[in-house]
Chains A and B, each alone.
Chain A
Amino acid sequence: MSLVQKRTELSKWYLPAIFQGLGWTFVKMVKNLANKKQMITLNYPEQKHEYSPRFKGNHVLTVKKDGSIRCTACMLCATNCPAECITIKAAEHEDPTVEKFPISYEIDMLRCVFCGFCEEACPVDAIRMGPEWQRPAVNGANFVYDLKELAYRPSLKGGIVSVVDETDRHKAGI
C-alpha cells in the first residue's frame, strides 16, 4: 500500500528529506550495535532461514521400502502441472504386481512455478516438494532434473520412503 503524501514546503528543498532518511538508518545502526542478537540479518550461508515444513522447494520422488521408485508413471502430475514441465516415459516392470514404472522422469526446474499441483495430484504420494531450493548450476541444461537426481540425490540419503506402500495394501486385500 503506498502512502501518497502532499508536497510540503520542506520537501521542496530535497536535502532535508535525505538527511531525515539517513538519520533513521543511523538510529537503526546504533540500536543494532548495542544489541547484536536482535539483528534480523542472517550471515548466509552459515545461518540459513528456517522455512516451515509446508515450504514448497525442489521436488523429491519418494521410494518404496525396498528402495525402488514409488512412482507408477500414471501421468497425473504431468497432467495437473500448469507449466507442463514434467515429462514421463513409462515402461513395463517385470514384476506383475508392480506392472508399470517410469523409465524416465524429468522436471524442468526453470519452467516449474513450484505451485505444488503435482504433489496434490499424485495418488500414491510419489512426489513431494522438498525443503531445499538453493541449487545453483552452470548452464540451463543442468536444471532439468532426471529420475536419479529427483529420487536419489545425496541430500536425500538413499531416498524418502513413501507413506502409501503397495505391498501392504495388496496383503490387506484391498
Chain B
Amino acid sequence: MPESNNTAAPATEPKMLKMTINGKEVEVKEGTSIIEAYSQHGMSIAHYCWHPGLSVAGVCRLCMVEIEGNPRLQIACNTAVTDGMKVNNESEKVKDAVKWGLDFHLINHPLDCPICDQAGECGLQDQYMAYGKYTPEMAEKKVKKHKVVDLGPRVVLDSERCILCSRCVRFTDEVSKTNELGIFNRGDRAEIGTFEGKPLDNNYSLNTVDICPVGALTSKDFRFRQRVWFLKEHNSICTGCSTGCNTRVFYNKEGLFRIKPRYNKDINGYWMTDTGRDAYKFVNKEARLLDARVVSNGRGEWIAPKLAARKAGEALKGAGKSVALVVTGQYMNEEYEALLSYFKNEVGTDRVFHWINNPETFDSFDGLLARGDKNPNTKGLLAEMAKQGFTAQWRELAEGLQTGAIKTVVVAGPENQAVFPDLKAKIMELSKASKLVWLQAGKNDQLEALTGDVTLIPLKTYVEKTGTYVNYAGIAQKVHKGLTVVPNALSLVEVVALMKGEELPADDTYNQVGLGRVHNEFTMVRGTL
C-alpha cells in the first residue's frame, strides 16, 4: 500500500485542549478530567476519593471547582476538560463549599489524633489547615462504630475514622482483584469490612494502608512504632525481588521503619507487594554483621573489616585455579564489574559460580508485581559473567571441593537472607573448603559458629551504597546512598580495592544511624564514678 501522505493527524497523537486553571493558561490532552489537569500541572486541589491508579468514585465531594458559565459547582474528578474551559478553585464560593464538605467529613470523626498512626500525614489534618472551620458547630452525639477491627494478618481497621471514600474497596476490586473488602450497611452506619471467613490477606493488602487518606487502615507492622514527623524519607529501589519497584524508605536515628511505594509509570505504577515492604528488616542494626571476624586454628576474633579484607587479599594473590567465587544476584553492576574482573585478572581463576536461591519458583509471576526471582540484579550478574566469559557449572564446585582442587572459596553471600531457603545447606557445603571468605551484610549465627579458616566481612546494604540494579525486564535503575547503618561495613568495590592493597578514600558517614542519644552520655559517664 503506497505511503499515502494522509493529512489527518495520526490516530495516536491525541488532540491538545486549551484551558485556564486559576487564571493560568495550560494545555492538556483530550479526555483528561479537570483533577488530572490539576495534578499534571502541580496545582493543589482538595480530594480524598480520587486516586490516579483507581477508577473515579466521586463520593467525597471535595474536589469542587467553579467552571465559568456553570452556576453550580462541579466535581473535578468526573468532569472532562473541554476546549477553552475556565476553571477556578480559589474563589470564595469554592472555599466555602470545601469548608462545609470537610466539616461533613469531620462531624462523626473521632478525636483520635493522639493515638492515630496517620497523624502527621492525614488528609483531614492537611485539609483542615487549609479549609478548616475552626469554629465547630456540631454539638450532637457522634456515630459510634467498631474500633480496632482485625481485617487480616497485616491490616487493622478503625471504622469510626473511616470517611467511606471507598478507595480500599476499589483497590481490592480493580487492582488485587480479590474482592475482600466491601461497604456494609447503609447511610452513616455504613462500614468498611471483610466477610467473616475471608480476611484481607493478599500480597498487596498493605497498599490499602498507603492509599487510605485517613487513619482508618493502619499497618500492624508499623503500628505505634514511630511518629511520621520523626521520619526522614529516602528514594530507593526494593530489592525484595527482580521487579525493582520504586520505593521510599523511611528512617531516622534509630534505623529504618517502613517502606512505601513510589510512582513509576512502567515498572510498578502506584503499588508494591507486602513481601517487598519487609525489605527494611535486614538493613537495621540488630540484623547486621557489625565487624569482620577471622577464625584461625579454632580461635575467632572480631577485627576491623578493612584489615580482614587486606589479609584475605594477600591469601588470594596469584592463587590461580584453587580459588572459587560464589556470587548471588543481590549486588550492583559496579560491584560485579570490580569483583569479577579482579578474580579473572589478579586471582586468575575462572571458577565463578552463580548461586540461584529458589530454582523451582525462579520464573513464577503472580500477574501483578511479585516475581519468582527474588534477586534484584540477576540480569546484571548474568551480563557481567558473560562479559568475563565465566561459564562454570555448579557441579564443578562440588567436585573441586571433593578432589581438593578448590582450596579457597570466596562467597558474596545473600544480603536478604529471608529469600534464600537453601542458605543453611550451602553454608554446610561451602565450609568444607580449607579456607572460606564469606562477604555478607546480614548476621548469621551458623556462620559465626564455623570452625576452620573462616573470614567474615560485613557488607553494606542497598540503602548505604550507590549503584545500579537491572530488573527482570532489563531496565537499569540507579540507587543512591541514603544513610549509614553500620559505619565500618564495606561495599564489594571497597573489598576488592582492599584486596588489591589499595587505600580507601575516607567514607562520609552522613545520616549516621545508631548513634541516637537514647540517654545523655554525659550522665552515663559520670554514673560510673
> Within the assembled complex, what's the spacing in Å between the Cα atoms of A66 and B146?
24
A143 touches B523 (CB 8 A): yes
Looking at A10-18, A27-35, A91-99, A150-158, the stretch in contact with chain B turns out to be: A91-99
B111 touches A74 (CB 8 A): no
B527 touches A141 (CB 8 A): yes
Q: Does A173 belong to the interface (CB within 8 Å)?
A: yes
A144 touches B224 (CB 8 A): no
A123 touches B114 (CB 8 A): yes
Query: Chain B residues near A87 (CB, 8 Å)?
Result: 518
CB distance from A90 to the nearest CB of B (A): 4
Q: Is the interface of B mostly helix, strand, loop or mixed?
A: loop
> Within the assembled complex, what's the spacing in Å between the Cα atoms of A87 and B114?
16
A92 touches B518 (CB 8 A): no
> Within the assembled complex, what's the spacing in Å between the Cα atoms of A139 and B529?
8
Query: Chain B residues near A75 (CB, 8 Å)?
Result: 227, 230
CB distance from A149 to the nearest CB of B (A): 14
B114 touches A72 (CB 8 A): yes
In the complex, which residue of chain A has the Cβ closest to the Cβ of B149?
A: A96
A139 touches B527 (CB 8 A): yes
Chain B residues bordering chain A, tally (CB within 8 A): 28
Question: 0/1 per residue, B109-122, Cβ < 8 Å to A?
Answer: 00101110001000
Question: What's the interface size class on A, roughly?
Answer: 20 to 34
B523 touches A99 (CB 8 A): no
Q: Does A76 belong to the interface (CB within 8 Å)?
A: yes
In the complex, which residue of chain B has the Cβ closest to the Cβ of A126?
A: B114
Query: Chain A residues near B395 (CB, 8 Å)?
Result: none
Within 58-106 of A, Cβ neighbours of B (below 8 Å) are at 72-76, 79, 85, 87, 90-92, 96-97, 99-100, 106
Q: Which of B115, B147, B229, B527 makes the CB contact (< 8 A) with A140? A: B527
In the complex, which residue of chain A has the Cβ closest to the Cβ of B115?
A: A100
A139 touches B141 (CB 8 A): no
Q: Does B387 belong to the interface (CB within 8 Å)?
A: no
A79 touches B229 (CB 8 A): yes
Query: Chain A residues near B24 (CB, 8 Å)?
Result: none
In the complex, which residue of chain B has the Cβ closest to the Cβ of A123?
A: B114
A72 touches B115 (CB 8 A): yes
Query: Chain A residues near B224 (CB, 8 Å)?
Result: 73, 90-92, 100
Q: Does A169 belong to the interface (CB within 8 Å)?
A: yes
Q: Does A165 belong to the interface (CB within 8 Å)?
A: no
> Within the assembled complex, what's the spacing in Å between the Cα atoms of A47 and B306?
65
> Within the assembled complex, what's the spacing in Å between the Cα atoms of A106 and B527?
17
In the complex, which residue of chain A has the Cβ closest to the Cβ of B114?
A: A74
A110 touches B522 (CB 8 A): yes
In the complex, which residue of chain B has the Cβ closest to the Cβ of A87?
A: B518
Within 182-226 of B, Cβ neighbours of A (below 8 Å) are at 223-225
Query: Chain A residues near B528 (CB, 8 Å)?
Result: 139
Within 88-118 of B, Cβ neighbours of A (below 8 Å) are at 111, 113-115
Q: Does A111 belong to the interface (CB within 8 Å)?
A: yes
> Within the assembled complex, what's the spacing in Å between the Cα atoms of A169 and B141?
11
A97 touches B113 (CB 8 A): no
> Within the assembled complex, what's the spacing in Å between the Cα atoms of A139 and B148?
43
Query: Chain B residues near A169 (CB, 8 Å)?
Result: 111
Q: Which of A91, A96, A173 makes the CB contact (< 8 A) with B142? A: A173
Q: Which of A76, A99, A141 makes the CB contact (< 8 A) with B524? A: A141
Q: Does A174 belong to the interface (CB within 8 Å)?
A: yes
Q: Does B520 belong to the interface (CB within 8 Å)?
A: yes
B147 touches A96 (CB 8 A): yes
Query: Chain B residues near A141 (CB, 8 Å)?
Result: 519, 523-524, 527
Query: Chain A residues near B527 (CB, 8 Å)?
Result: 139-141
A108 touches B523 (CB 8 A): yes
Q: Does A124 belong to the interface (CB within 8 Å)?
A: yes
Chain B residues within CB distance 8 Å of chain A: 111, 113-115, 119, 140-142, 144, 147-148, 223-225, 227, 229-230, 518-520, 522-529
**Given A96-B147, A110-B522, list of 19 further CB < 8 A pairs?**
A74-B119, A75-B230, A76-B114, A79-B229, A79-B230, A85-B520, A90-B224, A90-B225, A92-B224, A99-B147, A108-B519, A110-B523, A139-B529, A140-B525, A141-B523, A143-B523, A173-B140, A173-B141, A173-B144
Jot down 12 A-B pairs with beta carbons below 8 A, ordered by A: A72-B115, A73-B224, A85-B520, A99-B115, A110-B523, A123-B114, A140-B520, A141-B519, A144-B523, A169-B111, A173-B141, A173-B142
